[in-house]
C-alpha cells in the first residue's frame, strides 16, 4: 500500500518515539527495524531534511525526534520520504480533459482519503494501543 521507503521511515520513527529524549545510532535503528544499514542512513537523512528528526554527530550522538510522538502523524512521516501521489491533471495529456475524467477523479479521491486517514493517526496513538503486538518492530 505504501512504498518500502515510507514503511522503513515509519519503523524508524516508531523506534525513536519509544524514548523521545534518547538519541539512537543508525545501526541500532537498522537492527531493530530490520532495515538494511545503508538504507537506514538514507531514510534517516530524509527524516532529518524533512524536519522530523535531528542528527547529532559524535560520541553519544545519533538520531532523535524533533517533535513529540503526539505531534507526528503517519502522514507527516510518509510525506517526508514518499509523498502520496495526487492526480492534478490528465496523466494522458489529453487536451480535451480540462478537468479530471471520472476514473482519474476517483483515483485522486482514494489518494486524498489515504492522506486524511494517515493524518488522523499519530505515532503516539500507534505506540499506546492496547495490544500484545508491538507496532512495526520488535520490543527489546
d(Cα 4, Cα 1) in Å, to the nearest integer? 9
What average pLDDT does this structure show over 47-62? Answer: 91
Residue 119 pLDDT > 90:
yes
What average pLDDT does this structure show over 73-93? Answer: 89
Q: Is the dihedral of CA 67, 30, 121, 80 positive or negative?
A: positive
3-class DSSP string for the chain: CCCHHHHHHHHHHHHHHHCCCCCECHHHHHHHHCCCHHHHHHHHHHHHHCCCEEEECCCCCEEEECCCHHHCEHHHHHHHHCCCCCCCCCCCCCCCCCCCCHHHHHHHHHHHHHHHHHHCCEHHHHHCCCCCCCCCCCCC
> pTM, whole model, 2 decimals?
0.85
Higher-scoring residue by pLDDT: 8, 93: 8
Higher-scoring residue by pLDDT: 114, 104: 114
What is the reported pLDDT for 132? 61
Q: Predicted confidence band at 116 (pLDDT cuts at 50, 70, 90)? A: very high
Asked if 23 and 63 touch (Cβ cutoff 8 Å), the reply is yes
What is the reported pLDDT for 96? 77
What is the reported pLDDT for 99? 82
What average pLDDT does this structure show over 37-49? Answer: 95
CA distances (Å), 114 to each of 73, 98, 134, in order?
Answer: 13, 25, 23
Domains annotated on the chain, with CATH? 4-127 (1.10.10.10)
Residue entry with cell 534517516: 44
Q: Predicted confidence band at 114 (pLDDT cuts at 50, 70, 90)? A: very high
Amino acid at each position: 500500500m505504501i512504498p518500502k521507503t515510507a514503511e522503513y521511515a515509519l519503523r524508524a520513527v516508531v523506534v525513536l518515539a519509544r524514548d523521545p529524549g534518547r538519541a539512537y545510532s543508525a545501526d541500532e535503528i537498522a537492527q531493530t527495524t530490520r532495515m538494511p544499514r545503508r538504507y537506514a542512513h538514507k531514510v534517516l537523512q530524509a527524516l532529518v531534511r524533512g524536519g522530523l528528526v535531528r542528527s547529532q554527530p559524535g560520541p553519544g550522538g545519533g538520531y532523535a525526534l524533533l517533535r513529540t510522538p503526539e505531534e507526528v502523524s503517519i502522514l507527516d512521516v510518509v510525506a517526508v520520504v514518499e509523498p502520496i501521489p495526487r492526480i492534478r491533471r490528465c496523466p494522458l495529456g489529453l487536451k480535451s480533459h480540462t478537468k479530471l475524467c471520472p476514473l482519474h477523479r476517483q483515483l485522486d479521491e482514494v489518494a486524498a482519503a489515504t492522506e486524511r486517514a494517515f493524518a488522523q493517526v499519530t505515532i503516539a496513538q500507534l505506540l499506546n494501543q492496547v495490544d500484545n503486538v508491538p507496532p512495526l518492530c520488535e520490543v527489546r
